[in-house]
Homo-oligomer: A and B are copies of this chain.
Amino acid sequence: MVWSLRVAATSPQIRLGEVASNAESIRVALKDAVAAGAELIVLPELATSGYVFTDRDEAAEASITRDDPLWSELAAVLAPGVTAVVGYAERAEHHLYNSAAVFTSDQWIGDYRKSHLWGAEAGLFEKGSSAGALFEVPFGRLGVAICYDNEFPEVPRRLALGGADVLALPVNWPRVPRPNGERPPEIIQAMAAARSSRLATVIADRVGTERGVEWTEGTAVIDSGGWVFAVPDASGCAVQTLVLGVRGDKSLPPHNDLFGDRRPHLY
């Protein structure tokens, strides 16, 4: 059965270290995306905290736990059946993680801890113990990876092979040089990964700058053919209805199949 999924990638203004005001910005963004009919809503990496920390103490200061009251305030604006993915600086005992929370209005589904750390992150966060993760959510099976994770082609591939219906990708992409007229390289990598595995990908990036780091503003919905299908409107939100074909179908008629044609014993 062909099915469709209305998704939103949304990028509210985030201020470094200002957790309470960021939570309020996220709450409004979630509410607006729900109003736009989204069934999956993706926010950026470290949306509650900001990204460009000077040191671990500063990151710890802006970290929250899985049972912070903030989460129930955010869950309260979700309509039943809507899944949200929100990046946050997670504190768990003495450890910090760069995590993404996955939740609905009435359930903490889980969270994913980033396992490929970029730049100075290794001095701030512990590495997660899984390369992307899969979650059973109301609409089906959701893959989640964070930023640099997706630049390892193994990550989106294994999530797709594990049955992901769609990939949520919270990111904070510092802008890197690129030739005139080209898309950001991280978008090219996400487009290629999407196409290779027929895996639609919902990317929420930051906007503006933070401590001199200019963001790529790469928020986008990539369809399962690997094409950029939606970019943000003036509100910073990209909303689109993905037509996802038959669940799990990777066939390329009449002769081929993206997964069936793999030769795993040769890799």
Interface residues of A (CB under 8 A from B): 115-122, 127, 129-131, 148, 151-155, 157-158, 178-179, 182, 185, 188-189, 191-193, 195-196, 225-227, 254-256, 261-263, 266-267
Q: Which 9 A-B pairs have the closest CB atoms?
A: A192-B192, A153-B153, A131-B266, A154-B267, A189-B192, A119-B255, A153-B196, A188-B192, A188-B191
Residues of B within 8 A of A226 (CB): 185, 188
In the bound complex, CA of A189 to CA of B158 (Å) = 17
CB <8 Å contact, B116 and A263: yes
B179 touching A188 by the CB < 8 A rule?
Answer: no
Q: A131 is contacted by which of B122, B155, B195, B267 (Cβ under 8 Å)?
A: B267
CA of A229 to CA of B196 in the docked complex: distance in angstroms?
23
Copies of this protein in the assembly total 2
Question: Cβ of A262: which chain B residues have Cβ within 8 Å of it?
Answer: 116, 152, 154
User: Quick check: B116 and A261 within 8 Å, CB to CB?
Assistant: yes
Instruction: Write out the residue numbers on chain B whose beta carbons fall within 8 Å of the beta carbon of A225.
Output: 185
Please name all residues of chain B whose beta carbon is closer than 8 Å to the beta carbon of A131 when the two chains form the complex.
Answer: 263, 266-267
- The residue of chain B having its C-beta at the shortest distance from the C-beta of A117 within the complex is B261
The smallest C-beta distance from A39 to any residue of chain B, in angstroms, reads: 25
Q: Which residues of B contact A179 (CB under 8 A)?
A: 227
Cβ-closest chain B residue relative to A120:
B255
The smallest C-beta distance from A221 to any residue of chain B, in angstroms, reads 14
Q: Which residues of B contact A151 (CB under 8 A)?
A: 195-196
In the complex, the answer to whether B182 meets A227 with C-beta atoms within 8 Å is yes
Can you name 18 extra interface pairs (CB under 8 A) apart from A152-B196, A185-B195? A116-B262, A119-B255, A119-B256, A120-B255, A122-B255, A129-B266, A131-B263, A148-B261, A151-B195, A152-B262, A152-B263, A153-B157, A153-B192, A154-B262, A178-B227, A179-B227, A189-B192, A189-B196
- Are B192 and A256 neighbours in the complex by a CB distance under 8 Å? no
Could you say which of A193, A195, A263 has the most chain B C-beta atoms within 10 Å of its C-beta?
A: A263
The residue on B at minimum CB distance from A156 is B153
Q: Which of A152, A154, A185, A267 has the most CB of B within 10 A?
A: A152
User: B residues within 8 A CB of A122?
Assistant: 255
What separation, in Å, do the CA atoms of A238 and B8 have in the docked complex?
41
Q: Which residues of the partner chain B approach A115 to less than 8 Å between Cβ atoms? A: 263, 266
